[in-house]
Amino acid sequence: MREILIVGGGYAGFYTAWRLEKKLRKGEARVTVVDPRPYMTYQPFLPEVTAGSVEARHAAVSLRRHLRSTRLIAGSVTEIRHADRTVSVRSAGGADYELQYDTLVVTAGAVTRTFPVPGVAEQAIGLKHVEEAVAIRDRLMTAFDQAASLPPGPERQRLLTVTFVGGGFSGVEGFGELLSLATAMVRYYPELSFDDVSFHLVEARGRILPEVGDKPGAWVVRSLEDRGGHVHLNTQLLSAEDGHVVLSDGKEFDSELIVWAAGNASNPVVHNHTDLPVDERGLIVVRPDLRVGTDSEPVPDAWAAGDDAAVPDLASPVPGAHTVPNAQHAVRQGKRLAKNIAASLRGRGTRNYRHSSLGVVATLGLGRGIFQYKGIVIKGLPAWLMHRGYHVLAVPSWERKVRVLAVWLTAALWGRDLVSLASVQHPRDAFVANAAPHRPGRSQVGDHPAA
């Protein structure tokens, strides 16, 4: 039986395995997915997780629940040696071992791109995983609780200052959603006013949301500023040491919460630890049918898709263009990849990946959004509804769709749940702090008073 090894359980990897389970005949091949996380993160929901509009677990799609005939390995691939059909795996416990395969599928996904800015590694939180989105929400809500007990002054101002770095979709959506959450929370804190809250979005380029046109992008900036946000264009973060933000436009302020959303970089295992061909950006070179290599120099038994693959964009009028790294392409590439692998195993021809964009849509906070398809631009509430409608249809499985819809309907009736659970990040603190000291000569069993 052939062994198909999928490196990474994100969008492309999950959908490749999911479709292969349906396409492969019994005994034709075994599919193995290696990923350090037991779930696929539905990243478009992360901004709404930060705002409490989507429950954290509903943005995580369980691999074991949906990939029932796939072997799942909890670990990270640290090296790919395709010449030997071998990968090195580091398990969740830290042990290293090797896996053999016949067919390789690389869908490791991108990682957060960082720069050597002083203080970022110690202070900032990313926005790529569910845990990070939950931590951002809890940090903001805890800051509100602490600020409400303080008199007006620098410490209160620091606690209520939020900084987002990066004006792409992740940064803008997260900024808009968290600004919406903060606006809603002020109503429940009579000690505070919205004038105490300060939100900053920092972008090195002269515009945000490069996927939309200039005019829609400018409208988004005006919309965020009308709601009290501060958008710093053509500005870089110079330092964030001890939470003190220094910007290249001369602004300086203390910020309790710093969110880093300044784009993606290729996965280190793809960029540095593989013998597969990569381009100047560190992305795997693939043909239009998602095979690794070129027409003149194909790499046998190797496939790749998603954010770490340079997939030719056959729908683009620009010669040599590649598909943009987003969920819309990764999902469809995974489905095409599964069909092509199954066809290849049976000696049949494969089909090229081709997908014309369905447009781009972004949430900017509760009831606010923007959608663009070619020359069509929709703003405000209709675009926000389109965002929710599209993603509830796109999230895999009816079980997840129903759960997300239920939370949205509940929030529409009673509002968002404004509770911070920051203490879950340190679950033993209360146990250790409140543990009664042992008194010699007294049994620890039966010391507790009756309930």
pLDDT at 416: 74
Residue 451, pLDDT score: 45
End-to-end CA distance of the chain: 60
What was the pLDDT predicted at 215? 93
What pLDDT does 443 receive?
A: 52
Provide mean pLDDT across the span 145-152.
95
pLDDT band at 441 (very low <50, low <70, confident <90, very high): low
Q: Convert the pLDDT of each residue in 107-117 to its tens digit.
A: 998 888 888 89
Q: Is the pLDDT of residue 445 over 80?
A: no
Share of the chain above pLDDT 70, in %: 94
Rounded CA-CA distance 79/295 in Å is 25
Q: Who contacts 228 (Cβ-Cβ below 8 Å, separation ≥6)?
A: 179, 183, 194, 197, 199
What average pLDDT does range 170-185 have in this prediction?
A: 95
For residues 415 and 344, the model is more confident at 344
pLDDT at 237 over 80: yes
Burial class (CB in 10 A: 0-12, 13-18, 19+), 226: exposed
The mean per-residue pLDDT over the stretch 14-31 comes to 95
Q: What is the pLDDT of residue 266?
A: 83
> What is the pairing mode between strands 103-106 and 298-304?
parallel
Q: pLDDT: is 439 or 378 the higher one?
A: 378
Query: What value does the mean pLDDT take over residues 63-90?
Result: 95
* Phi-psi map region of 125: left, alpha, beta (phi>0 left; psi -120 to 50 alpha): beta
Say what the pLDDT of residue 375 is: 87
φ and ψ of 441, to 5 deg: 85, 5
The model's confidence at residue 132, banded by pLDDT at 50, 70 and 90, is very high
Write down the pLDDT at residue 422. 66
Does residue 245 surpass a pLDDT of 90?
A: yes
- Model confidence at 442: pLDDT above 60: no
Average pLDDT rounded to a whole number, residues 298-306: 95
Lowest-pLDDT choice from 46-55, 164-173, 240-249, 430-439: 430-439
Residue 324: predicted pLDDT: 87
pTM: 0.88
Distance CA 66, CA 40 (A): 10
- Average pLDDT, stretch 328-334? 92
Amino acid symbol at 169: F
Mean pLDDT calculated for residue range 82-99? 93
Average pLDDT over every residue of 326-345: 94
pLDDT value of position 448: 52
Which whole number is the average pLDDT over 381-403? 89
